[in-house]
Amino acid sequence: MGQFDAYTSIPWKMEFHKLLITVRKKTLKYFRSFRVFIFFVLILQIGTFTGCKIYSAFDSVLNPEWENFEQLPSGNPRLEYIHSIPVIHLYGTPAEMGNQYGTILKKQLEGLEYISTRFFSKKKVNEFIHTAIETEKYLPDETLEFLSEIAETSGVDYYKLLAINTVARVTCSALAVWGNATENGNLLMGRNADYAFKRINKALGLIVVKHPENGYATVSSSFLGLAGAYTGINEKGVSYGNMLVYNGFEDEETTGGLPVHLLMQSAAETKNSAREMIEYLTAQNHVVPVSVMCADSNEAILAELGKKNFAVREGSNGVLAASNYFYSSGMFEKPETDSRFSALMLKARDNHGAFNIGHLKDAMHAARKQNETLQTVLFEPAKMLMHVSMNKVPASKGPFTTFDILELLEK
């Protein structure tokens, strides 16, 4: 386990200072008395040096220990930083990768566990855990092995980890443009990940590179504690991302289905093309209505996935967009007009025939959710490039870090 010791922090210290600034501003708003404000700040600063639990929890997630940082060679489970974005590399079986994940990110997971209990009431946490327990029997063995090992090595409660993986509700939007719609014919795909989780949401993002013993390697733009992925690309150049749906026929959770991020991870490790991945997803049972966009270098396809039926959209004239509503006939209770969907379509229309990566950035920024866009990821499957902005709100504003997928998978 010694090889992991130097890699138990993620470089988000700046975000914690922003958090302190926000707390102080809100304190000024609600506590007009200068003396009260000074007292509050003193207590906060004292907590900094006495190790109060909430500060320690934030510090575990946000504060790197750079003095201990050194680069491990390729092929080793490790955490590295690329332009301040944390990238964790995992290898082997699900159990082995879970062991590595829990060991490397032990401090961050401990901090996340504590912070979550402070942000949610005990009743709500118990509801989440109850849902997790009800869902557990339907989860694949590889997911349970992965999470069990994370819990074992990190010391974080297993059922809280299970809740993170079965209750998450990420909204989001996606756009793909290709063929005669782009300036060079190459496909471009973008996805915004939108979620409201107070200020801590700006410190949960990381890149997860999985080198499974069996199956294709994957690179995911993920969140701390997730076994699957809401956004990612595999070594074959198949990229993917999902959207929660609000106007499906069924808005209550259904037992027997699987969370979409687990299904997408499974598909990414076994499928060669966007069409194969869509076929796999439409054959599965889903917990709640969702849409999933999959793309490769040739095409993009969207699956609208209800709990009892599904529809497939393939775009028009090289453009395909999605947000949080079903648009296919027979999939929705009532039609909805969504400004983020419209913004994506307008940007694609206005730049049709000349659409490039700069236009995609503009489109995703136009479709952001105020104070909730935590990650924006852009894919160029033909070039095996992924452009990522995370741990800032709105992430769509950038700056973006470009990852060469093949280079990343060689590490």
Are 89 and 411 spatial neighbours (Cβ–Cβ below 8 Å)? yes
Q: What is the pLDDT of residue 257?
A: 84
Q: Say whether 142 sits in a helix, a strand or coil.
A: helix
pLDDT digits (tens, 9 = 90+) for 64-112: 443 344 456 667 999 998 988 999 999 999 999 999 999 999 998 998 8
**pLDDT digit string, tens, across residues 316-353:** 999 999 999 999 999 998 888 899 999 999 999 999 99
Least confident of 64-68, 139-143, 236-240, 264-268: 64-68
CA–centroid distance for 47 within its chain: 31
* pLDDT score recorded for residue 117: 72
pTM for this entry = 0.83
Tell me the pLDDT band of 168, cut-offs 50, 70 and 90.
low
Query: Could you give the count of Cα atoms lying within 13 Å of 151 in the half-sphere of its Cβ?
Result: 15
118-123: which pairs have CB atoms within 8 A and are 24 or more residues apart?
Answer: 118/54, 118/57, 119/197, 119/198, 119/200
Query: What's the pLDDT score for residue 334?
Result: 84
Of all residues in the chain, what percent carry a pLDDT higher than 70?
78
Position with higher pLDDT, 394 vs 195: 394
Q: What is the pLDDT of residues 284-319, one digit of tens each?
A: 999 889 999 999 999 999 999 998 899 999 999 999
- β-sheet bridge partners, residue 294: 240, 301
Specify the range with the lowest mean pLDDT, choosing from 61-65, 101-105, 125-129: 61-65
Specify the pLDDT at position 251.
Answer: 55
Mean pLDDT value across the chain:
83
379 CB-near residues (< 8 Å, 6+ apart): 188, 189, 190, 233, 239, 295, 385, 386, 387
How would DSSP label each residue in 155-212?
Answer: ---HHHHHHHHHH-----EEEEE-GGGBSSS--EEEEEEE---TGGGGG-EEEEEEEE
CA end-to-end distance (rounded Å), the chain: 20
User: Residue 202's pLDDT is what?
Assistant: 57
Question: Could you identify the residue written with the tokens 């074992």?
Answer: 152
Q: 27-49: per-residue pLDDT in tens?
A: 444 434 333 333 333 333 434 43
> By mean pLDDT, which of 125-139, 245-259, 327-341 is the weakest?
245-259
* Token pair of 71 as six digits: 């680069």
Residue 9 has pLDDT above 80, yes or no: no
User: What's residue 91's pLDDT?
Assistant: 97
Instruction: Compute the average pLDDT of residues 56-70.
Output: 46
- Asked if the model's pLDDT at residue 127 lies above 80, the reply is yes
